Homo-oligomer: A and B are copies of this chain.
Amino acid sequence: MRKTFLFMDTVTNKVDAKGRVSLPAEYRALVKEANSEIVCYRSISQPCIEGCLEDLLEKLAADIENATDFFSETQDNLTNLIFGDARRYTFDTTGRIMLSEKLLAHAHITDSAVFVGKGRKFQIWNPENYAKEEARIRAAALKCRPSLHLNKETEK
């Protein structure tokens, strides 16, 4: 039995003409053991698709309700961005999901996609774009060692 439910590793799979991709076997196992479903949406800040377990969105819904007023514009905007875009993606017996045209376009994915584990979430990138992104992140980390004690207020 698994102790942690974290998406890890980086694996590249083919996307066929219908937009089908195999979800990495590890991810599938995790979803099953968590007794949950995958939800995907366009990243708000990057040209990639983001995915997570459905439970995380439930938590997010509760957080938004607590932090904002039912009738507020903020709540309206947030829920539009997140829930208006997200969708459940169940995989078939062979372990594939079907990514929508909208998601594929946003991430510039055509015939190949790379899954990147990010703990509670994962991302799906166009392979070339991700190679660049990873290089950028690693270079930045070398220059400026990351810290967990950064001041939230000054965080950009």
> Does chain B have a CB within 8 A of A92?
no
Q: Are B74 and A150 in contact (CB under 8 A)?
A: yes
Interface of A is mostly: mixed
CA distance A117 to B79 in the complex (A): 8
CA distance A137 to B78 in the complex (A): 9
Chain B proximity of A67: nearest CB distance (Å): 5
Q: Are B148 and A64 in contact (CB under 8 A)?
A: yes
Q: Are A73 and B134 in contact (CB under 8 A)?
A: no
Q: Using Cβ atoms and an 8 Å threshold, which residues of chain B touch A2? A: 37
Q: How many copies does the complex hold?
A: 2
A8, A73, A77 interface centre (most CB from chain B within 10 Å) = A8
Q: Using Cβ atoms and an 8 Å threshold, which residues of chain B touch A120? A: 61, 65
Q: Using Cβ atoms and an 8 Å threshold, which residues of chain B touch A140? A: 77
Partner of A55, one of B3, B37, B61, B156: B3
Contact with B along A99-138 (1 / 0, CB 8 A): 0000000000000000011111100000000000110011
Chain B proximity of A122: nearest CB distance (Å): 8
Q: Which residue of B lies closest to A35 (CB)?
A: B3
Q: Are A116 and B80 in contact (CB under 8 A)?
A: yes
Q: Are B63 and A70 in contact (CB under 8 A)?
A: yes
CA distance A131 to B61 in the complex (A): 23
> Does chain B have a CB within 8 A of A149?
yes
> Does chain B have a CB within 8 A of A98?
no
Contact A70:B81 (CB < 8 A) given known A8-B86, A45-B145, A142-B45: no
